[in-house]
Structure 1
Amino acid sequence: MAKIGSLEVSAQGFGAMGLSNVYGHAEDADSVRTIHRAIELGITLFDTATGYGDGHNERLLGSAIAGKRDRVVLASKFTHRRGGTDAIVSAREAVEASLQRLNVDHIDLYYLHRIDPLVPIEQSVGELGRLRDEGKIGAVGVSEADADQIRRAHAETPLAALQSEYSLWTRDVEAEILPTVRELGIGFVAYSPLGRGFLAGALPTEADDRRNIHPRFQQDAVAANARRRRIIEDVAERLYATPAQVSLAWVLSKGVVPIPGTRHIAHLEDNVAAGEIALDAETIAELEAAFPQGETVGDRYPPEQMKLVPRQPAFA
C-alpha cells in the first residue's frame, strides 16, 4: 500500500484515459470488465478526468464502480477551458459536473489538470480547498506544475498530490519536482509510467490512435528510442519478467504511485505482477544509464500541448 496525503491507496493505481478511444477503439463492456478485474486484484486508486472523452471516461468509470464504491479511491481532474472554446469553467462547476457524471456524492482526490495562464493557481486550488471543506472532494491535487507553482498552490491550500508524467524515458521531474514534493510532504502520482506503451514494446496500430501525432512515436524517434529500450528487454530476460514489469518496477522503486492504464485484462495482470519485482541498485543504475534524463528522442507531446506543460531544468 502507499499514501497520498491522508489517502491510503494501492501501490499502483489504474489510469482510465485509454478507455475512451484515445489509443484506438475501446469497447465499454470490455473496459468495465478490466476495471472490475483491477478491483479484484487489489487496485484501489482509479484516475480519470473531465477531458477524457469529453466526459465519457467519468461516466464509464462511474458505472463500473457502482456497488463497489467502498473499495475505490476515486480521482479526477479538470481544466478551466472547455475544449475548443474560450469559456472559463470554475473549479466548482467542474466538481459538480464530475459528481454527476461519476454518479457519486464525493470524489476522493480532485486535481487541477493543467494550469491556465489566465487563472492564478491560488484561485484554482483555493476554490478546490473550499469544496474539500464542504465535503464534495476529499483532497486537492495539481497536475503538470513546476516547483514554484507547487509551492504557491501548497501555500494556498495544502496539496495531497502532484501528478506528472514519469517513466524511464521521461525523467524530467527528478531535477526539481520530486525534491519539492518530498520536502513538502506531497504524494507523487506518475502517469504514463510505461511511456504510453512504448517501454512495454507497444506501438500504435490504429489510425485514430493519438500517439500517431506524438513526436516520440514518429519513425526516426521510434528507431532511436528502441535502441535504449533494448536494455529493458535484456533486464527482463534476466529476471524472467516482461519489459512492462521491469519498467513499472523501476518507477515503483522511486517511492511514487504509478497509474498505468490498459484496455486488456492480460496486460493489467502483467502490470500488477510488477509489484513482486525488487530491482537491485546495480540494475536500477543500468536502466538509468540507458535512459539519461533529457536524452529521449522527441518531445512528450505535439507542439500545442507542450505549451501546457512546464519545461523542467536538466540535472545540475
Structure 2
Amino acid sequence: MSKKKIGIGFGTWAWGNKLVWGYKSETDDILLKKTFFDAIDGGLDLVDSADSYGTGSLFGQSEKLIGDFLEEFPKRKLKKITIATKLAPFPWRIGRNGLNKAFQESNRRLKGNMTRVQLHWSTFRYAPWQEEQLLNGLGDLYEKGLIKEIGLSNTGPKRLHFLYQKMKERGIKINSIQMQLSLLTKPSLEDENIKNICAENKIEYLAYSPLGLGILTIPPNKSPKNTTFLRQKLFQRILPKTIELRKLMNNIAKKYSASQAQVALNWVRSHGAKPIVGIRNPSQAKDAISALNWSLTKSEKEKLDFFRSKCLANMPQNPFTSP
C-alpha cells in the first residue's frame, strides 16, 4: 500500500456553476473557506490549481481564492503543504520567456505562497519545440530562486524521461508528473512505465480525476441525471457498463464502513500515486480525509485491477497527452 497522502484540486468546476457564471455569494466563500481549511487540517497536503481555471473576467479565479484563503492560514501550517499551480502553454506563450508573465501573475494571485509550478500539458503533438523552451524558461526562474519546484502534467513516459534528463543536465529536478488515473482510465503499458520512471527518479506521481468525474461514487443501483449536457452524455455511456465494477467497490466500501469515493482514492494510492480530488463542501473534505485511515488489501486491489481491465467503458483520454 502506498503511504502517499491525498491532494485537493481547486479548479473552477470545484465550486459549481455559481462561480462559472459569476453568481458567487459571500455564503459560497465561507463554505469554500471552511472546506479548504478542513481539508488541510485533516491531512490533505497538496493544493492543486491552474492559471486557466476560470475564463474571461474569472481568469485565474481559482488561484485568487486560494491566495485569499492562505492569507488567513497559520504560517507554521503552510510549511507542511505544497501549493501547486499549472501554467498553460497557450500558443501565444512562446519562447524561453513565454511563461514569465503568467508566472508573475499566478504568484501574485497566490500571494507569494506558490511551492510548485507545473507545465499544464505537453505541446509535443502540435508544437514540440515549444515544450522544451517553456520548460527551460521555468528552469531559469528556478535558478534565480523564484521557483522552488517544477512539475509536468499530461506528459507520457517517453517525453517524461527525455525532459527529466534534459533538466537533470542543468542540475534541476522535475519534482512531479500529473496524469489522469482512475479505475475508469484504460489500463496501458504507459501507466506502468510512468510509475517506474517516477519510482526510479523519486518523482511524485499525481493522479487527477481519480473519481472519474464522480461516476465512481455512484452506487450500482443508481443512475442520477446530470446538470450539464456533456456530463449527461458521458454518464449515459459509462454508467450502464460499469455496474459490476461499482458493485465491487460498493461491497469493499461496506466492509470498511466507507464510501465508494474512498475506495477509488485508495485504489489510486495502492498504485503508488497521490490522488488529487476535487471537493466542494466540508462533507466531501471529511470523506477524502477518511480514506487516509484505511488501506486496500492486496486481494482487493487485484480484484479492482481485474474489473478495471474488463470494464467496457473508459474515461476519454486527454488529447494533449504526449507519448
So what's the TM-score if we normalise by structure 2?
Answer: 0.81
Unmatched tracts of structure 1, length 5 or more: 4-9, 312-316
Q: Tell which deviates more after alignment, 266-275 or 163-172.
A: 163-172
Identify the residue that residue 197 of structure 1 maps to in structure 2: 214
Structure 2 counterpart of 1:182, which letter? Answer: A
Give the Å deviation of 1:216. 7.3
Residues 121-145 of structure 1, C-alpha deviations (whole Å, 9 max, x = no match)? 3212111111112222211110010
Counterpart of 1:261 (choices 278, 296, 315) is 278
Q: What secondary structure does 1:221 align onto?
A: helix
Q: Is 1:67 matched with 2:72?
A: yes
* Partner of residue 112, structure 1: 119
1:278, CA displacement in angstroms?
1.7
| Contact 1:216-1:300 within 8 A present in 2 as well | no
Asked whether 1:58 is paired with 2:63, we answer: yes
Corresponding residue number in structure 2 for 1:309: 321
**1:80 and 2:95 aligned:** no
The residue that corresponds to 1:7 in the other structure is none
Provide the alpha-carbon RMSD of the alignment. Answer: 2.5
Check 1:204–1:15 CA distance in 2 against 1; reply closer, same or farther (3 A cut). Answer: farther
Asked if 1:248 is matched to 2:265, the reply is yes
Deviations 1:168-200 (A, max 9, x none): 222445332212222222110111111121111
Question: What is the one-letter code of the residue matched to 2:319?
Answer: K
Deviation at 1:69?
A: 6.4
* Residues 20 and 52 in structure 1, CA contact (< 8 A), matched pair in contact too: no
**1:149 aligned partner:** 159
Structure 2: tracts of 5 or more residues without a match: 20-27, 168-172
Supply the distance in 2 between the matched residues of 1:218 and 1:261 (Cα, whole angstroms).
18
Structure-to-structure mapping, 1:219-258, within 5 angstroms: 219-258=236-275
Distance in 1 (CA, whole Å) between partners of 2:233 and 2:301 is 23
The higher-RCO structure (CA 8 Å, 6+ apart) is: 2
Q: Retained in 1: the 8 A contact 2:10–2:47?
A: yes
Structure 2 Cα separation of the partners of residues 62 and 148 of structure 1: 35
Identity %: 24
Q: Does 1:271 align with 2:276?
A: no
Asked if the contact 2:225/2:232 (under 8 Å) is kept, the reply is: no
Shift of 1:37: 1.3
Q: Establish whether residue 164 from structure 1 lines up as the match of residue 179 from structure 2.
A: yes
Counterpart of 2:8, as a letter, is: F
Query: Residue by residue, what CA displacement relative to the aligned partner does 1:36-63 show, whole Å, maximum 9, x if unpaired?
Result: 1112213231110011112110111111
The offset of 1:206, in angstroms, is 5.7
1:12 equivalent to 2:6? Answer yes
Deviation of 1:298 after TM superposition, in Å, equals 4.3
The match for 1:131 among 134, 141, 166 is: 141
Q: Secondary structure at the match of 1:80?
A: coil
Give SS of 2:118's match.
Answer: strand
Aligned length: 290
CA distance in 1, matches of 2:315, 2:174: 28
Asked whether the 8 Å contact 1:121–1:152 carries over to 2, the reply is no
Alpha-carbon offset, residue 162 of structure 1: 0.3
Q: Map 1:85-100 onto structure 2 (within 5 A).
A: 86-88=91-93, 90-100=98-108
Q: Is the 8 A contact 1:107 1:136 kept in 2?
A: no
3-state SS in 2 of match to 1:175: helix
1:232 Cα deviation after fit: 0.4
Give the SS at the match of 1:271. helix
Which position in structure 1 is the counterpart of 2:111? Answer: 103
1:297 lines up with 2:313 in the alignment? yes
